[in-house]
Amino acid sequence: MPRPIRATIHSAALHANLERVRRSVPDAKVWAVVKANAYGHGIERVFEGLRGADGFALLDLGEAERLRELGWRGPILLLEGVFEARDLELCSRLGLWHAVHCDEQIDMLAAHKTQAPQRVFLKMNSGMNRLGFAPQRYRSAWARLDALPQVDEISLMTHFSDADGPRGIAQQLERFNAAARDLPGERTLGNSAAILRHATDTQVRADWVRAGIVLYGSAPDFPEHGAGHWGIRPAMTLATRLLGVQRLQAGDTVGYGSLFCAAEPLTIGVAACGYADGYPRHCDTGTPVLVNGVRTRLVGRVSMDLLTVDLTPLERAGVAAGFGSEVTLWGRAAGGALLEIDEVARAAGSVGWELMAALARRVPVAVDSAAHGPGCGSIGAPDR
Ligand SMILES: *Cc1c(COP(=O)(O)O)cnc(C)c1O
């Protein structure tokens, strides 16, 4: 028997989260962002839940190829564009749209012998200072692209640095508009935080939004708001079982470095999950965990394959726990109890994005295709 750890991908939650995005921006077309192997969920596994999107956005040409192999004929956008000239051939062959963020990418296009002209998304650096043309260089880049026979349609794109926080998007919008206002073409501006927090802005709602983390059920502005506030549901559950129980006396310590010391007699459970599964080693004593659906806390240091949890709350609640008991690291317990990935991420000084994307290869993943959503359906066979 394999180790009892398993991740489950909830198709119904993905579907519901996509619907949530559509309610927020009803006039926009929605890119489902599936970079980083669908934020760790697996492109093949999320496809069923997200196939109602208008297009898929990602970074890696191999991931675009996998989407085409799944039968997706709709739009696919390379968010960072091409990395070398021959990528343009694959864009032609697979019908990929691609971002253009620098002169080198325009040079590659100008030298490309294409069968059919390509659709590009010209990216402006409106203040993030990662990729994109500076506002004062944007129009000349647009004119250069417009003159190329290799280019069909030009759409306009920028990315917000602070849609999740108090700085907001106004300043970047202003810069974008000053340089791009009268240029023709579709726009794509908003990420998840903009979709949820700035949905009333007509520009965020325009043409295309790029929904990533919200689709996977993590709140982009946690801890200000949680997933419950936004009405989104976890698309991933990471669960395992207890392999052992230890009864501690006052003064006994737990795990490497003896970081936790029992102040009084205490029963702890030992769960089959560690940092080699993608659970963050930075999680300290106090990080929330569910055992048989009851909320308790991690104690001591997370090791490679195991972590330890306090069973006191279960004893108090009269819930039995022992070898084989269900442990939910994040997501939905069998009985329906919920533990937000954002809470665990915060305990690790991280964010939901990183925890999802770091799910380790050794963890088997199943897809829960039940129509009624997480915790209510049968589980399909692990597919890797
Ligand atoms: C990752 C990414 C997104 C999605 O961001 P979320 O915050 O996960 O919604 C949107 N646009 C670009 C350019 C990205 O790289």
Name the burial class of residue 78, with classes exposed (0-12), middle (13-18) and buried (19+) by CB atoms within 10 angstroms of its CB: buried
| Ligand 1 binding pocket includes 101 (Cβ within 6 Å) | no
CA-wise closest residue to 344 among 335, 333, 334, 352: 352
Distance 79 CA to ligand 1 centre (A): 9
| Ligand 1 binding pocket includes 156 (Cβ within 6 Å) | no
* Residue-wise pLDDT tens digits, 271-329: 999 999 999 999 999 999 999 999 999 999 999 999 999 999 999 999 999 999 999 99
Q: What is the model's pLDDT at position 1?
A: 80
Task: Report the atom number in ligand 1 closest to the C-alpha of 192.
Answer: 9
Task: Report the atom number in ligand 1 closest to the C-alpha of 214.
Answer: 9
Residue 17, pLDDT above cutoff 60: yes
| Ligand 1 binding pocket includes 215 (Cβ within 6 Å) | no
CA-wise closest residue to 178 among 153, 210, 203: 203
Q: Say if residue 362 carries a ligand binding annotation.
A: no
| Ligand 1 binding pocket includes 196 (Cβ within 6 Å) | no
* Residue-wise pLDDT tens digits, 98-107: 999 999 999 9
Helix, strand or coil, per DSSP, at residue 12: helix
* Residue-wise pLDDT tens digits, 145-158: 999 999 999 999 99
Task: Report the atom number in ligand 1 closest to the C-alpha of 191.
Answer: 9
Question: In a mutational test of the pocket of ligand 1, which residue from 18, 33, 124 has the highest number of ligand atoms less than 8 Å from its CB?
Answer: 33
For residue 120, the Cα-to-chain-centroid distance in whole angstroms is 24
Distance 228 CA to ligand 1 centre (A): 21
Mean predicted confidence (pLDDT) in 115-119: 91
Q: What is the model's pLDDT at position 28?
A: 97
Question: In a mutational test of the pocket of ligand 1, which residue from 191, 195, 355 has the highest number of ligand atoms less than 8 Å from its CB?
Answer: 191
Sequence letter at residue 225: H
Rounded to two decimals, the pTM is: 0.95
Q: Whose CA is nearest to atom 15 of ligand 1?
A: 79
Domains identified in the chain and CATH numbers:
11-216 (3.20.20.10), 236-368 (2.40.37.10)
| Ligand 1 binding pocket includes 294 (Cβ within 6 Å) | no
Report d(CA 207, CA 187) in Å as an integer. 6
| Ligand 1 binding pocket includes 79 (Cβ within 6 Å) | yes
Sequence letter at residue 95: G
Q: Say if residue 130 carries a ligand binding annotation.
A: yes
Report d(CA 183, CA 317) in Å as an integer. 63
Distance 156 CA to ligand 1 centre (A): 15
Distance 98 CA to ligand 1 centre (A): 15
Pairing of strands 288-291, 326-332: antiparallel
* Residues β-bridged to residue 124: 133, 158
Catalytic residues: 35, 256
Mean predicted confidence (pLDDT) in 74-102: 97
Confidence of residue 185 (pLDDT cuts 50, 70, 90): very high
CA-wise closest residue to 40 among 379, 354, 305: 354
Residue 379, pLDDT above cutoff 70: no
Residue 373, pLDDT above cutoff 80: no
Residue 382, pLDDT above cutoff 60: no
Q: Chain-wide mean pLDDT for the chain?
A: 95
On whether the CB atoms of residues 14 and 216 are closer than 8 A, the answer is yes
DSSP state of 213: G
| Ligand 1 binding pocket includes 237 (Cβ within 6 Å) | no
Residue whose entry in the numeric block shows the structure tokens 């030009």? 154
Q: Which two tokens stand for residue 15?
A: 């579907």
Burial track 147-176 (b if 16+ CB lie within 10 A, e otherwise)? ebebbeebbbbbbbbbbbeeebbeebbebb
